[in-house]
Amino acid sequence: MDERYDPNKELDGAAVEDAVAESDAGAPEVDAPPERVRPEFEAEVLASLRSTAGPTLDGKAPTEVAPELAWADRKLHYKLVSPLNRRKFKIIVVGTGLAGGGAAAALGELGYEVHSFTFHDAPRRAHSVAAQGGINAARGRKVDNDSLARFVKDTVKGGDYRARESDVWRLAEESVRVIDHMEAIGAPFAREYGGQLATRSFGGVQVSRTYYTRGQTGQQLQVASSQALLRQVKAGTVHLHTRSEMLDLIVIDGRAQGIVTRDLVTGKIEAHTAHAVVLTTGGYGNVYFRSTLAKNSNVTAAFRAHRRGALFASPSFIQFHPTALPIGNEWQSKTILMSESLRNDGRIWVPVAPADPRPANDIPEDERDYYLERRYPAFGNLTPRDVASRAARDEIESGHGVGPLKNSVYLDFRDAIARLGKPVIVERYGNLFEMYEHATGENPLEVPMRIAPGAHFAMGGLWSDYDAMSNIPGLFVGGEAGWAYHGANRLGANSLLSACVDGWFTLPYSIPNYLAGLLGTPALERDDPRVHAFAEEARTGVQALVDIGGTQGPDRFHRRLGDILYSHCGVSRSGEGLAEGIRLIQELRREFYADLRVQGSSGSFNQELERAGRIADYLDMAELMCLDALDRDESCGAHFRVEHQLADGEAARDDAHWAFVSAWERDGSRYVRHDEPLAFESVRPETRNYR
């Protein structure tokens, strides 16, 4: 490779090694805990679901160069497709969020024939709009000692050393280009008085690297991305299929060659073929029923690919967002997300006295416990999400919860308003305050917000190698549908970034490398009998749900499943609770297939049928999540096993036995675990400490 290449040359000129050594100075070593002897009940449950471990996985990251040079080296050695040959290749992209919309637009601009699928009525309605607070980038514009190396350290440490290090270096390197690119296609980032793009801090870091558009960052990025996608639709390089839900992945001759979809308006089921398939269908947090996700967000596309052989990595790694609105009553269908950016100026506290009945403003300062500032003075209210969520749960369960149901903590802007004035706070967070007031009837400028942990982001997803390709050749994965960047806990504002990096700057490089080997090979014909068999199988499966003819609607099962998961696979987990959760999920699944009621027919618009299919997948997904959580006998990031705690109550990671990614293969009703070992060259593993 070109020895002149230096991914850090635009920053401060310091060598990566020096920056990492400085950031790691004095880091505590990780003590290897003794291997625990599993109780008999755990062993029995694992034996009933888990087969013998499968072969070790190769993530295919470059090993002949340092991690910080891996992406440049890989791009240099990728095979290319010439402009005249690109129109000979057909690519299917499922999902139109930041990852899918970006990938489809970029590949279309390059000259490939792209077919973009979404179950929404327009691409801009993808759930990327819901991310509010910002997007990270290691541009190093502030004089606060940020760098690519520090970005990587923060992200790898924030994920508790359960991510692939070389992928995180790519995320950091491309983050610099993402901001310029998204601004160029129309994202209106906030600016300082002098004209420079403004930044703020997010949880898990001590620098200011988050770019934002008030509290509408995801929405504005999604609008810009959708406009770029629709430009290619108008140009004829991208064919947009709206209101189309993916029901199956077509795998023939050992590679992904298309998908099966159902038209949500007419009910028509048909197959679509291509040289490659890209899944960018978001995360599966809605398995908990009450989550911060839009109600239509689901796991179906990814899980149907899993049923066809795609490995599912780290399914139990679920993030609970610490600033969701608390549940107000048992009939509430979802939670509402308040941006983590609010923790820049808001202070989190609970009354010192348990069950204090006084209104928040009547509680004097010396009777308030700012518990994050007390427990984590170095990071305070900007501790990572998993740490903040566990701390909030501890306060609520110890009797210090506030609100009518005593199930929340306060997020208070009193001091920030006194220091900066209301106009500044309104300028920074006004739309978030309006949303909170509409939801609760309370004005956060006058009384503190009430927040509580809520199921939010899936760090797990379909396993993919360094080139973003799954173990099924031709099946690529991007955005939250994948697993690679975040480890066991995602840092705030890295979600929009990872989706943009995958869509605009990873998949458009790696997909041509795969396609180059298929030059001269036509895509399968849609009337091929093998393709028709996949469509017929999907049609039979849909009709089978209608034919059950039971008495309970699908939402009733979903609500009960969510209760099981919150209780047994929530912010904290235990071996006993997970084993019981698996038993309850299996009982609920048997009841689902015996007593499900789907009104209407399969050959028409039928939203109850849509939900039934998605909940069928959630039932299997939930079992796999609990299995993965039971199998991983350690605490790390958002996966907190109560059996594995340090003396101060923090997560006890076990690198001696569990420093690998678990990627699960479905084998009938049982699962085979494949391991991808994790090694770290530039970020030395240490005990995770935010004090």
Residues labelled as active-site residues: 385
Instruction: Give backbone dihedrals phi and psi of 320, rounded to 5 degrees, phi first.
Output: -100, 115
Whole-angstrom distance, CA of residue 171 vs CA of residue 173: 6
Helix runs in 78-164, H state only: 83-86, 98-110, 148-158
- Cα 152 to chain centroid distance, Å, stands at 18
Cα 630 from Cα 579, distance rounded (Å): 7
* Rounded CA separation 460/110 (Å): 31
Q: How would DSSP label each residue in 83-105?
A: HHHHTT-EEEEE--SHHHHHHHH
CA 242 to chain centre: 23
Residue appearing with tokens 């819901």:
130
Residue 581 sits at the vertex; the CA angle it makes with 398 and 330, to the nearest 5 degrees, is 60
Q: Please tell me whether residue 111 adopts helix, strand or coil conformation.
A: coil
* CA quadruple 28, 31, 458, 380: dihedral sign: negative
Concatenated DSSP letters of 609-661 = HHHHHHHHHHHHHHHHHHHHHHH--S-BTTB-BTTSB-TTS-B---HHHH-EE
DSSP for 254-317, written as a single string? TEEEEEEEEETTT--EEEEE-SEEEE-----GGGGSSBSS-TT--SHHHHHHHHTT--EE-TT-
Give the whole-angstrom CA distance, residue 584 versus residue 596: 17
Cβ neighbours for 564, distance < 8 A, ≥ 6 positions apart:
581, 584, 585, 588, 622
CB 512 within 8 A of CB 80: yes
- Spatial contact of 238 and 102, defined as CB atoms under 8 Å apart: no
DSSP tag of 683: S
**Which residues are CB-contacts of 600 (< 8 A; sequence separation ≥ 6)?**
546, 606, 608, 609
Contacts of 395-399 with CB under 8 Å at 24 or more apart are 395/350, 395/369, 395/371, 396/452, 398/354, 399/354, 399/355
Residue 639 in contact with residue 583, Cβ under 8 Å?
no
If we measure between CA atoms, which residue out of 457, 460, 455, 487 comes closest to residue 314?
460
Residue 553: count of CB within 10 angstroms of its CB: 16
Name residues whose C-beta falls within 8 Å of residue 522's C-beta, 6 or more positions apart in sequence. Answer: none
Residue 658 neighbours by CB under 8 Å, 6+ apart: 632, 633, 634, 636
- Sign of the dihedral through C-alpha 288, 289, 295, 297: positive
474: left (phi over 0), alpha (psi -120 to 50) or beta: left
